A and B are shown apart, each in its own frame.
Chain A
């Protein structure tokens, strides 16, 4: 009997010891959203970084804000660098969940100031674009208003499921709000507009899902990250894309407060945000670089397909507004979804 209890305790000790040694054996952990994006990040950043510095980069994912907060709260942080949406980064910095960036280790001069803060450096920036399955849509959708026109374009349309910058703005633009009058967001008006097509919406929760929905024709068209459309085109899927009023937002790289390998993390950030790292990633993913010197290192035809080749009519989603109102919008968003 005593033996069994002792055995259990010994087992606990052994697992704890194993866990700590396992954590020490790896050099750092990079966490992102999985799928084609994380593959591109691994190839463009992690592999060259390991080759140059000898620091091993373990991949984890998908990014989970609840987990990040749990790790920081519990003081047991297993992630060193995390790819997050920028509005979350701004709020998380306010809530004390992030380490400040050491700009002595991460050169700041060439980084796009729109996506650089004291607690984050840009990862990439992207656009929400209107994409459709050419085989399933008759005619060509021309802009966001068409997503709400079920007469002209019948069928299911797909939108991003989580409460985040994008869908609310699309609803307002479709309802005729001018781009420069979007903020502060008129939520009542947006939800009223969304109500008109609610039964025709299929939600996508992750990039891979959005690709599957459009490629299979399950959704005839929808709001996608431009990089996922790029990946679909690369795979030879028959997709159309409209950059009309494309909405830009950014992912940024952050270091959770109390990360075990902070020095390695800062070195990794320097490599990921370098002109070469950014150029390679943009080429692999179709997302835009956040280092202003990156484009000089990229083939001209790739540059043409990036979000910053479509600045005409482009709208920047207001990350600061979202960081400010994140919870309040999210509460309403999920309540509306569940109705």
Chain B
């Protein structure tokens, strides 16, 4: 499909700048659109044509609970991640840049470490016979091991730890762009530190929180390894259920339908977010 043939189509002109986009579009179609269409096709043709897979998913209490669990875990993880990431990002934003780059390095390094390894490390820490419980019991703070694993607590701890960098990085960018003078001005006008935070810092950093939060939420929705290893079967998330359907039940139609519903819901959330926050503020804030 060369430029000449395209221009010879009467009355059809490519929008300006489209040429440079073509390779990206080819990649997106090949690696995203085609597989998603294949998924959709599978979900309405296997084991026989029809919508019975969707009917089964939406009409069954178990699947409904797994969907609910998935969104519950993603919401909790997103909220906790924001709370933990904000002070860290603020520190990074006001630190001398030499020190900040070292801390950044540490954060990035953890992202490069194998996910499974990091999850297993949490298992070793959180087990009833794990490091945390043994330490607490040895010091006499508790006399029964705390249930930190195979439940929502374990999933939340493990996933927040893994998601933190994705929240910290966009937040730092937003916070650094805030003019420190605004805070000084607030103080001069008699604002308490808390008021300055609530009325200046927080509103100005909202785009970063929104961008990071959406990324964390969407990534959490599809998480598999960490919830499977740190959660119990009653905190099962959608990704694990899809894996069961495909690996153990060999029911590809049902698995594809579940995956497609997850995709549609995620896209809808993203659209809603764009609508609420505005596309320009989402694309990196300041």
Contacts and interface: CB of A to CB of B under 8 A. Distances in A.
Contact of B20 (A1, A330, A335, A339): A1
A66 B27 contact: no
Contact of A66 (B19, B228, B233, B247): B247
A137 to B, nearest CB: 14
Contacts of B3: 1-2
A339 B234 contact: yes
Contacts of B241: 334, 338
B251 interface: yes
B62 A327 contact: no
B19 A1 contact: yes
B250 A338 contact: no
Given A163-B248, A330-B248, A334-B244, A1 B65 contact: no
Nearest to A12: B30
Interface string A213-243: 0001110000000000000000000000000
A331 B23 contact: no
- The secondary-structure label for the interface of chain A is helix
Interface in A1-37: 1-2, 4-5, 8
B22 interface: yes
Interface string A109-127: 0000000000000000000
A138 interface: no
A218 B248 contact: no
Interface string B54-67: 00000010100110
Nearest to B254: A331
A153 interface: no
B251 A327 contact: yes
Interface in A184-232: 202-203, 205, 216-218
Interface in A58-89: 64-67, 69
A334 B63 CA distance: 10
A66 B2 contact: no
Nearest to A212: B123
A338 B247 contact: no
Given A1-B3, A203-B233, A338-B65, 13 more contacts: A1-B20, A1-B23, A2-B2, A5-B23, A8-B23, A65-B248, A66-B243, A66-B246, A66-B250, A69-B250, A335-B62, A338-B236, A339-B234
A203 B252 CA distance: 25
A1 B23 CA distance: 8
Interface in B194-215: none
B40 to A, nearest CB: 17
- The secondary-structure label for the interface of chain B is helix
A337 interface: yes
A331 B249 contact: yes
B234 A330 contact: no
Contacts of A67: 247
A216 B127 contact: yes
Interface in B224-265: 228, 233-234, 236, 241, 243-244, 246-252
Given A1-B19, A338-B66, A338-B236, A216 B248 contact: no
Contacts of B233: 161, 203, 337-338
Q: Which 3 A-B pairs have the closest CB atoms?
A: A66-B247, A337-B233, A335-B62
14 contacts: A1-B22, A1-B23, A4-B22, A4-B23, A8-B23, A8-B26, A66-B247, A66-B248, A69-B252, A205-B228, A216-B129, A330-B248, A337-B234, A339-B62
A163 B251 CA distance: 14
A257 interface: no
A255 to B, nearest CB: 18
B249 A338 contact: no
B249 A339 contact: no
Contacts of B249: 327, 330-331, 334
Given A5-B23, A217-B129, A337 B236 contact: yes
B150 interface: yes
B128 interface: yes
A194 to B, nearest CB: 12
A202 B244 CA distance: 18
A306 B68 CA distance: 46
A194 B173 CA distance: 52
Most chain-A Cβ atoms within 10 A of its Cβ — which of B65, B233, B241, B246? B233
Contact of B248 (A2, A4, A162, A335): A162
Contacts of B62: 334-335, 338-339
Contacts of B244: 334
Nearest to A327: B249
B236 A65 contact: no
A64 to B, nearest CB: 6
